[in-house]
Structure 1
Amino acid sequence: MTFDSPGFHSQSIRASAVVFEDPASRQLYERIGRIGPSEATVLVAGETGTGKELVARLLHRLSPRAARPFIAINCAALPENLVESELFGHERGAFTGAVSAKRGWFEAAQHGTLFLDEIGDLPLSMQVKLLRVLQEREISRVGGRSAIPIDVRIIAASHVNLEGAVRAGRFREDLYFRLNVAQIRVPALRERPADILPLAGHFLKMYGERLRMRSIGLSPAAERLLIAYAWPGNIRELENVIHHALLVMNGEAIGPTDLNLPGQRMPMEASHMPLTQETAPPGFDAALLPLFESGAENLYDLVEAKLFQAAYEYCHRNQLQTAKLLGITRNILRHRLKQYGLL
């Protein structure tokens, strides 16, 4: 499923998280479809790099405000002494350097959508003023004396747990409730493993065209590494890994050595000398000999399949316990069990 589905227009959206193939992302897709057409204020939660701004843009495109402006502001990037002026604007002479009046981002987004990213980084003093704006639906420019009515839908996002920030006294509880009318959680990439390869394919096409390269694919070993990796940087990290791989690759397809993944696991290569009881190195577990003697081209898959099968049976085919034993998520476990015909 892509953004070409009804209601979505992909051509002007930055290319990151453009598929909804995994069950977890399909649930996200459905939730966006339900909340988007409303006028509700939305809080988008998720780790850095998961595509929270993209979700906000989709919500805007599904709303009655789709033809109006969409303004995205990173609150963490605003200098503390200029936050109020940036958001609400200022009048001429309001402060040193204010040589002319200037509209703020709220006015720029009039009748449209204002996306406040990293809302948790706003100073407490600004949180109070933002709360008042959301309550009264009007702003006052810095140095101004008149109120300006605003008609703006607010979508806020944060990679930090705002509930925890409220308990720690770093975020106002009343503002949190005002923003959290509807909440959308964007799953981390490790929670949606079926999206990894389609996303990688998309980035291959996008950067391949920019680099004027012919059609490039991934080797089976590279695909296994991408699926096995935990992706702490989420989609943004995957995009960078694919871009880097295209820059350094030498072969016909991207291989494991082209992927700049920390602690990556390399597939085991077959030895030129047959491994037997006589040729095995000291300490080698003889129970593994049948795997080597099978002559399989991909020993890595065989070993991993045996591992997953053994863990699954050891946990009496309980998926939650097996995932915990292997240190992976249940979604990744289910993907592997299906891959190896165990589910």
Structure 2
Amino acid sequence: MSSFSPYRVAIVEDDPDLLELLQEELVSQGYKVTAYGCAEDFLGSLEELMFDLVISDIRLPGIDGMQLLQRLKQQAEPPALLLITAFGTVRQAVNALKLGADDFLTKPLDLEHLALSVQRLLAHKALRTEVQQLRQRQEDGPAGLVGKSRAMRRLYQQITQVATAQGAVLILGESGTGKELVARAIHQQSPRSEQPFIAVNCAGIPAELMESEFFGHAAGAFTGARQQRSGLFKEADGGTLLLDEIAEMPLLLQAKLLRVLQEGTIRPVGSDQELRIDVRILASTHQNLELGVVAGTFREDLFYRLETFNLSVPPLRDRGDDLESLAMFYLQQLQQKQPRDVQGLSQDGLDCLYRYPFPGNVRELQNALERAYTFATGRNIEPVDLPARIHSYQPEISVSDQQITTRWPTLQQLQQSYVQQVLQHTQGNKQQASQLLGITRRTLYRWLEQAEPESRSDE
């Protein structure tokens, strides 16, 4: 199944039989389903997971379905909510709908009715999300900023807050996290959005040319300066100038940058005139500037001037499910630029991405997906299509973890062993075995099918 449109559904139900039935039914329809026995467990997972639809019983131990409804509606992007109960009344249904529930079903559930309700609610949710994304692109910055994780939502809020200010902004983050996209988002939301945005990599300009590049020069200021040059600060006048990798800027130029921040003037090389400019400075780096101050490679006064507004761009490993959203976004971009039969990522391919730590962050993910998209031979990207460093990556296991692995059986091994003991007790009668295990025969057959490959490999 393609992972371009993976609907995530949460089920909150304290009846284990009904919980299992609903999970099996929705999984068979292609949804990604997570089951919870109580609302507290579900709410505790929301920092890491985002859901499109929540199906919840009204009567639950602890936090009930009506209280859960109220909490979900406080979220910035609440999921659709379908409430179910064996004690449904017209008054209760009307009250739930007034509080914001999207639909209401009573037990015993009609599975066909449930399936239709789920399809309808997810279609409405998709439409609301599309409208919200269009608005968000206008409010939050360029479409290149993708993600709904808690860390990214915090960053979006900070971007909005600093965008309307006038002071310099220091953007910190590891290589490949998207610091320039954050800078562009700040510019687009600022009063300067109609004016120039210029980004320059301080590490890419030779030190002897840096002053001329930034401040310009008069004609004849030095050998080869045949014509007057305005410089980057003047070109960005009225707008925004991003100084990427500012830690690479020489100390002499740092002093002149500090003067620009303090006085709002520049002096071109070879000129005796000060030029007044109106430029907002954004600076970014993957280095620790405080260590640079201690080492004497970065001016302390400039550091404190830049640090007034300080934003940290989170690494990809701290962004939870954003990895899947980013992968979908980049694959859709590739599909538009270079149409192919590749539709998405297989589940194994996605799991492979989640195992890998991505030291190169979003940029590394983008490059890896471009390679996989180009070389994939099937409709979905498989692990083998990804770069070798990704599909062959194995997380390091500590000595203590290895000891646990060798001494203790896995939950799956315990489950299989217990199922075989029950089957021996019932002399192979699967109906009696499923009753003793408290599961459906369908679940028992699935467990046995999962155990067969291991049984054959042991022979």
TM alignment of 1:313-332, pairs within 5 A: none
Q: In structure 2, which of residues 299, 304, 325 is the aligned counterpart of residue 172 of structure 1?
A: 299
Q: Distance in 1 between matches of 2:336 and 2:385?
A: 19
Q: In structure 2, which of residues 373, 386, 403 is the aligned counterpart of residue 246 of structure 1?
A: 373
Q: Distance in 2 between matches of 1:62 and 1:147?
A: 30
Pair 44,292 (structure 1): closer, same or farther in 2 beyond 3 Å: same
Q: What SS is found at the alignment partner of 1:157?
A: strand
Q: Which amino acid aligns with 2:222?
A: F
Q: Look up the match of 1:185.
A: 312
Q: Distance in 1 between matches of 2:163 and 2:449?
A: 50
**TM superposition shift of 1:9:** 5.1
Deviations 1:158-197 (A, max 9, x none): 1000011111111000011111110000000001021100
Q: Which amino acid aligns with 1:103?
A: S
Q: Which amino acid aligns with 1:140?
A: R
Pair 100,255 (structure 1): closer, same or farther in 2 beyond 3 Å: same
Pair 112,46 (structure 1): closer, same or farther in 2 beyond 3 Å: same
Deviations 1:106-145 (A, max 9, x none): 0000011111000000011111111112111100100001
Judge which range, 46-55 or 258-267, deviates more: 258-267
Q: Distance in 1 between matches of 2:416 and 2:348?
A: 18
Pair 73,25 (structure 1): closer, same or farther in 2 beyond 3 Å: same
Q: What SS is found at the alignment partner of 1:29?
A: helix
Structure showing greater Rg = 2
**TM superposition shift of 1:47:** 0.4
Q: What SS is found at the alignment partner of 2:151?
A: helix
Pair 69,25 (structure 1): closer, same or farther in 2 beyond 3 Å: same
Pair 207,4 (structure 1): closer, same or farther in 2 beyond 3 Å: farther
Q: Distance in 1 between matches of 2:219 and 2:390?
A: 56
Pair 147,206 (structure 1): closer, same or farther in 2 beyond 3 Å: same
Contact 1:3 1:9 in 2 (8 A): no
Q: What SS is found at the alignment partner of 1:101?
A: coil
Q: Look up the match of 2:36.
A: none
Q: What SS is found at the alignment partner of 2:389?
A: coil
Contact 2:141 2:186 in 1 (8 A): no
1:230 and 2:230 matched: no
Q: What SS is found at the alignment partner of 1:66?
A: coil
Pair 119,87 (structure 1): closer, same or farther in 2 beyond 3 Å: same
Contact 1:43 1:156 in 2 (8 A): yes
Query: Percent of pairs identical after alignment?
Result: 41
1:99 and 2:231 matched: no
Greater relative contact order, per chain length (Cα 8 Å cut-off, separation 6+): 1
Q: Which has the higher helix share?
A: 2
TM-score by length of 2: 0.57
Pair 55,260 (structure 1): closer, same or farther in 2 beyond 3 Å: same
Contact 2:159 2:182 in 1 (8 A): yes
Q: What SS is found at the alignment partner of 2:273?
A: coil
Q: In structure 2, which of residues 180, 189, 206 is the aligned counterpart of residue 53 of structure 1?
A: 180
Contact 2:217 2:268 in 1 (8 A): yes
Pair 148,205 (structure 1): closer, same or farther in 2 beyond 3 Å: same
Q: In structure 1, which of residues 64, 88, 93 is the aligned counterpart of residue 191 of structure 2?
A: 64
TM alignment of 1:85-164, pairs within 5 A: 85-164=212-291
Q: Look up the match of 1:21.
A: 148
Name structure 2 gaps, 5 residues minimum. Answer: 1-131, 395-405, 418-446, 453-459
Q: Look up the match of 1:335.
A: none
**TM superposition shift of 1:209:** 2.2
Judge which range, 251-260 or 43-52, deviates more: 251-260
Q: Distance in 2 between matches of 1:150 and 1:108?
A: 10
TM-score by length of 1: 0.76
Deviations 1:263-292 (A, max 9, x none): 64589xxxxxxxxxxxxxxxx989454567
Deviations 1:282-330 (A, max 9, x none): xx9894545677446599xxxxxxxxxxxxxxxxxxxxxxxxxxxxxxx
TM alignment of 1:177-326, pairs within 5 A: 177-214=304-341, 216-262=343-389, 264=391, 287=409, 289-290=413-414, 294-295=447-448
Superposition RMSD in Å: 2.4
Q: What SS is found at the alignment partner of 1:163?
A: helix
